[in-house]
Structure 1
Amino acid sequence: MIIQFLFLLFVFHLCHSSNNPPVIIEQPQDMIAELDKPMAIHCRAESSTFDDLQVDWYKDGRLVTIDPNARIITEFMALHVINTMPQDAGVYHCVAKNSHGRTESRKARIQFLKLDKDFIVSPVSTSVSIGERVRLSCQPPFGSPSPQVYWTKDGKNVSITLDHYDLVFPSVQIADFGLYRCIASNGLTRESSPAYLTEFHRPKLTIQPSSSRVDLRRGKSIDLQCQIDDDEYKLEWHFQNTLIRSSILNMSSVEFNQSGLYTCTARFQRHVFTKEILLAVYEQETLRDQEIFYSQLNLTVFAGRSAIVECPLPYNPQKKISWAIVNQTETNNFTFDFVDQPQYRFQINPVKEFHHNILFQCSYEQSHGLIQLNVEHIQAPPLVFFVPNNQTVPISTQVIFPCQSNDENTVQWWFTQSHRPYKTMKIDNNRKYRLEINNDLVIRHAEKNDAGIYKCVSTNDKYEESVWTAVLKIDDNRSHMKYNRLERKDLPSAPSQPLLVTANSNSIELSWDIRSTDIVDYLIEYFDLNPMNKNLQWERYITKNSNSQQMINNLKSNTTYQFLVRARNSFGYGPPSILSELIETRTY
């Protein structure tokens, strides 16, 4: 009797359950996924009869259809997206159906993150001296949403306030040396390549003769020799506007026009060291049993820098020198400080443009020496007028990256492939690339493996560099990606010359005008005219808005700078303004 009852109960349950709609036993879940990667949304249903079980997927209330290119497929009830795109974001649910009804799952929200692998600017290793100011630069990969940036040192987070994305040390100390990385994060995380900040040990630079000045009678001969205890440095001499690429100067039968300051310069990478020697050429005669000396020289100095003016008469510490300006009556604006007791030398800090052609006379007894100042402007670091901007283009398209610099500068192009970030190659003319006479890079028929970072480096004869990078993305026409192929007419115009608004001890406020209206932000480039044992180099500051009046912070006090401004719209950066006048920060 009991067995019959159980059998009847089983038959009743079986008949009853076979008339029910499906049961969903695995619900789809909310997900934050990565763009351009595979994605699967899971849903599982059970039914008494699997013959008529069907699972459909809906996105934002609309039935998901299978992609004819097999980008979106269903497999074992799950929805698979082979290569996610921004339009795949939304609210998904599955519906399980059989002949007895349908059951809807919960709704799952799918969101996407995007963060490119390649940093636009990665920090580079550098060696600095204690007390030196240094900037580790970083520009994160493109991402959606825009990534947050922070830095690590030896694997631990750094708590220093960033200048945009850059890490700035106003005065490097021993505790600052270590391994640094720039980290970008928006849910996804990318690490830059490591950058080592290490202590720099200054080489020993000497000149023979070893004294700081040589007094030499006209018609005599002399050899000046420069030496350094590190073979990696290249030695050169500078006199007035002449560059002599040699460590030895042989001068026979010297004349007055060879009087002046000779500077030996040692260069290696970004490090520059100098040592100076004054050659004072004089003539003498005897008048009434008294020796009378006379001399003359032209002294080239640079606006914005300090300069030492030294009497070219033969040095005699027993004689006190008297000074006069012989060709100007207005001397109220001229200030100087003597740097030795006999007053043979005085310092001008800084040199002004109105000092040009001033004629000084130094005298003792009946001897006289004349020094005429020739004030020149320091040549700015290499300036790139039209810079490469990021582009996204369809496959098989010709791509042009500009890098137009001064004619006397040398421009080289380098490429780092997206899928091989550890390898960078120099670009030369070949079947793939064409280098135009104006230094534009032309990529013929861009392919997938042409995607990556392109870098142009402009170098002048002082080995000073200006570096620009741009990211190229290649689309295969199936992703509906928004293209961003540039033509020069799309870029904003050059702003007007930046003008000083206010100057403080460590900041300067500038303003400018511009005709373009679709400005996103500005790039302010500037350089310090008095770098400490370094080549001149551009510093860059990206504004956080499109205001045409901006404050530049973290500058050195009592220092002369020059500035220029570029505007950026949705296509990229346009040409630069002309350089500002020389602008000085105040003394503390």
Structure 2
Amino acid sequence: MQVSAWLLWVAWLCTWTEAARQCQCQCACPPEEQVEQRSERSERRGHLHHRLAHQRATHRDRAHRRKGSRPVPDIGLPRIVHHPSDVVVRVGSPATLSCRAEGNPEPTIQWLRNGQPLDTDKMDAQSQPIVLPEGSLFFFSVSLGRKSQSHEAVYACVARNSAGVATSRNASLHIAALREEFRVQPSDVEVAVGEVAVMNCSPPVGHPEPNVTWRKDGILINSSNEHYTELNGKLIIAPAQKNDSGVYSCIASNIVTVRESRAARLSVLAKPVLLRKPEDVSVQLGASAQFFCEADGDPMPSVEWSREKGPLPNGRYLINPDHSLQIHYVTAQDMGRYTCTAENKLGVSVASAQLLVEDVGSTRLRDLHKELSALRVSLENVTVMSTASNMSQVMWRLQSSAVSQPHYLEGFEVLYRSLLPASSDWTAQRVPQPGLHTHVGPLKRGYKYEFKVRPYGSSLYGRESNTRHLRVPEIVPSAPPQDVSITMPTDRNDTVHLSWEPPPHDAHNGIIQGYQVQYY
């Protein structure tokens, strides 16, 4: 009987231990009563009393837990409560990757670099990161070296205790950088007034992604101005105006440095506009008529004259540098509509005017008109009088015509102008009858000139002659350079600085190409 009681006691103890392990709770059981020698019935009653007491304690514990009380576990799985985040850091600056974990027992923190345990022993002593007490990874000075030495990588922290392991999210440590090469450089752009201008730019690759701003003629553009829109690096100007023309550059910047693109020119062009339009003109037979036409645009438009019916009067018209049209010695056949056309690559602008010819009531004027229209002048020769002279000799002759002996011819007018290096207006020099030659000058040495001759009588002119060109030979300047100055730098005694002004303009005797400095 005593052996049976002991066996029942051992069985009850094992059952209680298993129940306590499954409940994972602390159970304060009532102390054991002293075991006395009793009957088997008394022992079973005592064992049942103990089981009921244990179940009541477990029930009280569960009820207590439902009311919000949190028991302190013996063992708790680790849990990451603060995950590391991506960071971008300049070379040489400190950086911290945060990590914090909870668990029971307190977990230890280790770090992974690119999926492998971080081995600081392979790094230089100065570049070794350290794990702070709360688990964060601290870099005293971020470096970018060989692959194994570079701090730029993907990191994760691992919390570990006897209950298990927890791993954080990945976090990248990028070393701030900004390359030199722009992915897209701005290029020159041409638009018309009122259109949308787009200046392209794609900044260099960098971490962090660089900010993009723009400069016009070296001045930062105000991005809050509604006239400008910055979109994905591009600068959009709408609508483009003439004052938007200029030199633009794209500026890329981040925490590392600032990069500036090459400059690009924006040209806001304008269609031709006629500032002054031709007006109807009425002149007497044999007189001169003039039509005016002034145009503007960007680029500056070319201006041409045309006649509604047929070509312009051969040999009797002149288009001046101001684009006005002159018609000399007007005939009845010259009547009609004349058109001024201004054109550039953006468009065309046109205006017309009428030429009316009044009948001449005077018999003398009619005869003069008839005589001058029949005369033909041939420009024979244009030469420089001598090498040392800047005067030219012009010779012409009157061709045989229906007029054997002119009665109303008063003389001839020699017209000349410079062509190179710069053109000029026509200059007139009259030669009275019966002269057929004259001296013209002084002319500028090194310049190229154009000559022609026409007959005149009263205020009327006949047909113009053929043209001839003359280049005036050059000789050495007749005066030395002016304001010659010699200075010596204070920091060098083996160098001098020499400066001067050109000779007086009248002493150039040609186009000065350069200077020769001689020293002894």
Q: Work out whether the TM-score is over 0.5.
A: no
Normalised TM-score (structure 2)? 0.32
Higher helix share: 2
Tell me which structure has the larger Cα radius of gyration: 2
Higher strand share: 1
